[in-house]
Copies of this chain bind each other. A is one copy, B any other.
Amino acid sequence: MKRHNLLITSDLVGSSDVRRLRRFANVYRSSELEEKTLADRLRETDALLISFWPEFLTDETLRRMKRLRFIQGILVGVDHIPFVTLPRKVVVCSNAGAYSLEVGEHAFGLLLSAAKRVVDTHNSVARGKTDFKEFRGTSDDILVLQGKTLGVVGYGGIGAVVAGLGRSFGMDVIALSRSRRSGRGVKFVRGRGALTSLLAGSDAVVLALPLTNLTEGMIGAKELSAAKRDAVLVNISRGDIVNQAALYEHLRLKPSFRYATDVWWYEGGRETLVTDYPFTSLPNFVGTPHISGPTAVASGRPVRMAVENTLRYLRGLRPKNVVKRSEYYRSIVL
């Protein structure tokens, strides 16, 4: 078996993992190499283990990496990888499932924060609204989950966790999935019109699907207008699934509709907390600064799973979570 050359560009991978990987490959860390040596190594590199796509891997550099065959991500999403430049023979693996538990919990934290109006009423009290009478009527917009319907868009690891928690709260769960057709107590919808009918029938909706050329901007003005007037929409996947301008307009015009997110829109290929519209000035917007993922990283699971999958590749086994590349030929500039 030929010996692989693996380059690790993430500091999250610890030394014990490096030792395990060394049994099947020559392993280098980009952070430990001088610029000149790194350039030499890149020409020999056939496998990459990365977190966010490293800046030194420009399109030009990538074109010189003739031997590259495999990329394993530590993040769950792979939308940051420049697929357009990447030769077809390179297999890209996501880290699907590695963040499901923590991100699913965070999704429910956002859902309940918006459903129970925690952020806006807390801030009203903090700003000096201290007469209980002023909060009369607040409860009209409080969503009691029991007996209501939860729509889950995308039924991967995170979607399944969210659906399970929804069931625990006594919710009926509808899920939109391309591939999954069964899940305990979950009604699956698919095909043309499925998204609109899911939105129309759900009191709370969680977006838990990857950002691809099929999903970018999939929630626009039309979809928002199909949703219930007082629904709670939670985004735990990627900001760009939702059309920013359409969302702002919808939130402004429908004060009972709520959007709660941990993910933000891309600007120049990078997620940014700076938005085109003043979302945080709206009481029906809740946003956390993409903090759901790091919690999972802290558990060690994402690195462990990414290392395991890299080992599968190095040992000549079929790696898991191979990405359907055709869906990622997006035009985001990196």
Pair B295/A139 contact, Cβ less than 8 Å: yes
Determine, out of A28-36, A130-138, A187-195, the stretch whose residues face the partner at the interface: A130-138
Instruction: Give the CA-CA distance A168 to B145 in the complex, in Å.
Output: 15
Is A113 interfacial (CB 8 A cutoff)? yes
Set of chain B residues within 8 Å of A129, measured between Cβ atoms = 273, 289
Which B residue sits closest to A110, measured CB to CB?
A: B118
Interface residue from B101, B146, B286 paired with A105 (Cβ < 8 Å):
B146
Pair A142/B101 contact, Cβ less than 8 Å: no
Binary contact readout A121-152 vs B (1 if CB under 8 angstroms, 0 otherwise): 11111100111100110111010111000000
Pair B299/A125 contact, Cβ less than 8 Å: no
Instruction: Give the CA-CA distance A72 to B120 in the complex, in Å.
Output: 34
Set of chain B residues within 8 Å of A288, measured between Cβ atoms = 116-118, 121-122, 125
Instruction: Give the CA-CA distance A146 to B294 in the complex, in Å.
Output: 16
Binary contact readout A91-128 vs B (1 if CB under 8 angstroms, 0 otherwise): 00000000001100110111011011111011111100
Pair A144/B299 contact, Cβ less than 8 Å: yes
Pair B274/A130 contact, Cβ less than 8 Å: yes
Task: Contacts A125-B273, A130-B272, A280-B122 given; indicate if A108 touches B112 (C-beta within 8 A).
Answer: yes
Is A290 interfacial (CB 8 A cutoff)? yes
Pair B142/A287 contact, Cβ less than 8 Å: no
Is A298 interfacial (CB 8 A cutoff)? yes
Instruction: Give the CA-CA distance A115 to B123 in the complex, in Å.
Output: 18
Is A291 interfacial (CB 8 A cutoff)? yes
Is A277 interfacial (CB 8 A cutoff)? no
| Residues 290-304 (chain A) with a chain B CB within 8 angstroms | 290-292, 294-295, 297-299
Is A223 interfacial (CB 8 A cutoff)? no
Instruction: Give the CA-CA distance A165 to B166 in the complex, in Å.
Output: 10
Interface residue from B132, B274, B286 paired with A271 (Cβ < 8 Å):
B132
Is A56 interfacial (CB 8 A cutoff)? no
Instruction: Give the CA-CA distance A271 to B169 in the complex, in Å.
Output: 30
Instruction: Give the CA-CA distance A169 to B105 in the complex, in Å.
Output: 8
Give the Cβ gap from A116 to chain B, nearest Cβ, in Å: 4
Pair A138/B289 contact, Cβ less than 8 Å: yes
Set of chain B residues within 8 Å of A140, measured between Cβ atoms = 298
Give the Cβ gap from A223 to chain B, nearest Cβ, in Å: 24
Interface residue from B121, B145, B281, B286 paired with A118 (Cβ < 8 Å):
B286
Give the Cβ gap from A199 to chain B, nearest Cβ, in Å: 23
| Residues 245-303 (chain A) with a chain B CB within 8 angstroms | 271-274, 280-281, 286-292, 294-295, 297-299
Give the Cβ gap from A107 to chain B, nearest Cβ, in Å: 10
Pair B105/A139 contact, Cβ less than 8 Å: no
Which B residue sits closest to A290, measured CB to CB?
A: B132
Give the Cβ gap from A135 to chain B, nearest Cβ, in Å: 5
Interface residue from B108, B119, B130, B165 paired with A273 (Cβ < 8 Å):
B130
Set of chain B residues within 8 Å of A106, measured between Cβ atoms = 116, 142
Pair B165/A121 contact, Cβ less than 8 Å: no
The 3 closest A-B pairs by CB, nearest first: A168-B168, A109-B116, A126-B280
10 contacting pairs across A/B (C-beta < 8 A): A105-B116, A109-B115, A110-B116, A110-B118, A113-B119, A116-B288, A122-B288, A126-B281, A138-B291, A165-B169
